[in-house]
Amino acid sequence: MKPRFALLATALALTLSTAACGGASEASGTTTLEVQSGLAVDSHLRKSLEDTSKKFEEKNPDIKINLVTAGDGYEKDMKVRLASGNVPDIWATHGWSKLRYSQFLAPLQNEAWAKDFNPALADAMKDDDGAFHALPLDTDIAGIAYNQDVLQKAGFDVADITTWDDFAAAARAIKANGTDPITISGKDSGPAGNLVDWIAPGAYDERGLAGLKDGAFETADYQKILAQVQGWAKEGFFNPDYSSATSSDMEKALAQGKAAFMFSQNRSITNALEYNPEAKLGFMPVPSFEAGGQYLIGGEMNAYGISKSSKHPEAAKKFLAFLAEPENLSVLAKASGSAPGLTNAGTEIGALQGSYDQFVKPGKLPLAPYFDRVYLPNGMWNTLVTTTDSVITGQSTADSAASQVGSDFASLYGQNK
């Protein structure tokens, strides 16, 4: 899963080239921590993190926080920096603190705030020994974002949509009203891949998922996912400006009632409300191919780890401890539109509280992990995005795109063994 980024990777490299091993101690004795935020400069969470960092600096005048906005290719940038040894003191692990970054991060399970780690994140973030390597700002539990007014105008309620057939029926009614059923960005590198991450858990049975972990890719299973996307494209469910639309355009369209659904994390709903605070937005469970199979999507999202090579580990731990304070974590989690990552922080997610109370609090719906993080080999994300994009634009069929995914799966699985 990819967050939105604002600056070009090349600009990032130039900007950070002077930051050896992530941090610097100034002549005055002040410690500067480089914190790679992984967030776009205009995101709601970035603003809250900036405000919280300033509060920390006021209480700790000997520590300065250099909160860095990420480049457009965050994952690639981090790989380069890790390989070169030019690593931030603290960086956003964007869902990969255990599987990708743990060998580069300091363990945090012995920190004072660790006792309040949300157990819902254990599978995603803890290893077999109970160690984890990042502070989760939030517990990422999401579904499909929706505009309630658009749905009601078409004669539907989220309670009516439990299967993908129900979803398609609602989409046809919405389209008949002159509104785009699904808003999605083809210009940014994540939204097309999100479709796969959201649909896939309901397309596989337990045997199929276990097979993926063992390196067995069944083209027919994956083709089922892309066939659905292909069907949506043929029926005109996606916004006509897909290829040029940005993630901000998606959020704006949902907030302004120009679209009904958006496949994205809850922070996108929070961002959308900046365009129209009066919009009635929420998230609904992901439908399934069969009745009774709904689920929510979740895992690690906004989490921050400390580099093993940081020259200022104590200062870095002090900063994370400040973020972990209940009053601060509650504000940060609310900005992301999710529940906090620690259980001692209050759950107060504003406009999304209704959805949380309706679908999450009862604890009846399973929480499916992000498909690519658990069941696909490292490096598959770009394949997910490009192949799904090719199906949406009609440049490829579901069959040929699924075959391409299978080929890349086999190659990367072998490399990652």
Orientation of helix 44-59 relative to helix 266-275, angle to 10°? 100
Contact 145, 266 (CB under 8 A): yes
Residue bearing the bigger pLDDT, 357 or 320: 320
**Residue 320, pLDDT score:** 98
Q: Pick the residue with more confidence: 256 or 8?
A: 256
Most confident of 25-29, 170-174, 264-268: 170-174
In one-letter notation, the amino acid at residue 21 is C
Query: Can you give the pLDDT at residue 6?
Result: 37
The average pLDDT across 107-132 equals 93
Mean pLDDT across 4-8: 36
pLDDT at 28: 59
pLDDT for the residue numbered 189: 81
* Cα three-residue angle 11-13-18, rounded to 5 degrees: 115
Tell me: pLDDT of 25 over 70: no
CATH number of 143-298+371-416: 3.40.190.10
pLDDT confidence band for 12 (50 / 70 / 90): very low
- Is the pLDDT at 415 greater than 90? The verdict is no
Q: Report how far residue 372's alpha carbon sits from residue 94's, in angstroms, rounded to the nearest whole number.
A: 13
Give me the residue spans of the domains in the chain. 9-141+299-360, 143-298+371-416
DSSP letter string, 4-73: ---B-HHHHHHHHTT-GGG-EE-TTS-EEEEEE--S-TT-HHHHHHHHHHHHHHHH-TTEEEEEEPPBTT
Would the pLDDT of 7 be above 70? no
Say yes or no to pLDDT of 309 above 70.
Answer: yes
Neighbours of 372 (CB within 10 A): 22
pLDDT of 27 over the 60 cut? no
Q: In whole angstroms, give the CA distance from residue 408 to residue 388.
A: 14
- Confirm if 338 and 141 have CB atoms less than 8 A apart: yes
Domains 9-141+299-360 and 143-298+371-416 share a fold: yes
> Which tokens in the block code for residue 341?
């990552």
CA distances 146 to 5, 27, 149, 188, 313, Å, are 23, 52, 9, 20, 42
pLDDT at site 41: 84
Q: What is the DSSP string of 361-372?
A: TT--S-EEEPHH
pLDDT band at 403 (very low <50, low <70, confident <90, very high): very high
Tell me the average pLDDT across 33-49: 90
CA-to-CA distance for 88 and 45, rounded, in angstroms? 20
Q: Calculate the average pLDDT of the chain.
A: 90
Q: How confident is the model at residue 417 (pLDDT cuts 50, 70, 90)?
A: low
Q: Does domain 9-141+299-360 have CATH number 3.40.190.10?
A: yes
Tokens of 363: 């604890």
pLDDT of the residue at 32? 97
Burial environment of residue 193 by CB neighbours within 10 A (0 to 12, 13 to 18, 19 or more) = buried
Please count the residues of the chain. Answer: 417
Angstrom distance (rounded) from CA 408 to CA 417: 14
d(C-alpha 406, C-alpha 84), whole Å: 32
